[in-house]
Structure 1
């Protein structure tokens, strides 16, 4: 069961497989400021998914709170106001998978 979400404004593609979420980033902004290209998250390690919807003046984000043992880390996907629906759909999809 593959599901893909693409956030055009920040050139970010999120692919959800049966057990993992892959966040792939392209572009200068992601390389220089975030220093990230690709992150892989195990669905079993996600503690929480936080969503802050974007407005006309502020960008939104979808934050995955990931725990592995005693270590905590956050994986964030940034988007603009035109991509709020995609972010809400992705959050709901991840929560339905985690509840099964």
Structure 2
């Protein structure tokens, strides 16, 4: 999914709210449902592909039929910039 918009809002030191928005056709090429599990997978893959060390939690996912887009919102925590092995990071499943 190369055509994804990313927005970040700093909540406090080391904590951010991440919003990813992707066109619905591109989303449905990969995922079958608009659910938490798919949202987690999308965020996890996005962070991996960008070598982003954030731990994610509190996934929200919404399908906006008027805009024909999927929006995924997650909280990111960087634990005072402590880097971790990605394979052990923030699994919610």
Structures share fold, TM-score greater than 0.5: no
> Which one scores higher on RCO, CA 8 angstroms, separation ≥ 6?
2
